[in-house]
């Protein structure tokens, strides 16, 4: 009577196939997750800046955006009391370098940025230059 079962080599081949498939399956979503995290942040940052610009044009209350690169967050606060309207987190692994951009970032009643400038955002894989031009034009991104 023969004993049923697998040989050691058969078991090792099956286990190595499982390990390879698992390794390939987990590295692909991490890359997609980082790309989606970057897209989500820039989309949210864009909408917050549009809110800031529109509130400057429509309201007598002056709001400003304060970027804290060391604290990995930015906040929008009211002008006189500095009460926080909203606070957003920046991913911990990112580095933000304020080049010519001065804080706080604000707009006048006509929707023009008060102090134009640039900043560099270093993500895990890429670098982006964020430009806030003089005039009514909105900010834009350049991948470096």
Convert the pLDDT of each residue in 59-100 to its tens digit. Answer: 888 889 999 999 999 999 987 678 999 999 999 999 999 999
Confidence band of 138 (pLDDT split at 50, 70, 90): confident
- Full-model pTM: 0.77
pLDDT digits (tens, 9 = 90+) for 41-50: 999 999 999 9
Please state which of the ranges 22-36, 51-65, 108-122 shows the lowest mean pLDDT. 22-36
Query: What is the distance between the alpha carbons of residues 53 and 4, in angstroms, rounded to a whole number?
Result: 74
CA angle 24, 25, 29 (to 5 degrees): 110
Q: All domains of the chain, ordered by start, with CATH?
A: 8-59+93-143 (3.55.40)
User: What per-residue confidence (pLDDT) applies to 135?
Assistant: 76
User: Could you tell me the two tokens for 65?
Assistant: 């955006």
Q: Are 59 and 109 in contact (CB under 8 A)?
A: no
């Amino acid at each position: 009577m023969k004993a049923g079962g697998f040989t050691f080599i058969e078991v090792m081949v099956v286990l190595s196939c499982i390990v390879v498939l698992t390794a390939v399956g987990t590295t692909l979503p991490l890359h997609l997750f980082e790309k989606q995290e970057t897209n989500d942040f820039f989309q949210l940052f864009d909408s917050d800046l549009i809110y800031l610009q529109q509130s400057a044009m429509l309201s007598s209350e002056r709001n400003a955006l304060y970027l804290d690169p060391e604290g990995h967050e930015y906040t929008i606060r009211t002008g006189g009391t500095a009460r926080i309207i909203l606070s957003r987190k920046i991913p911990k692994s990112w580095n933000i370098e304020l080049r010519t951009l001065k804080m706080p970032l604000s707009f006048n009643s006509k929707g023009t940025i008060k102090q134009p400038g640039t900043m560099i955002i270093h993500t895990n894989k890429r670098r982006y230059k964020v430009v806030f031009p003089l005039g009514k034009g909105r900010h834009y991104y350049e991948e470096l």
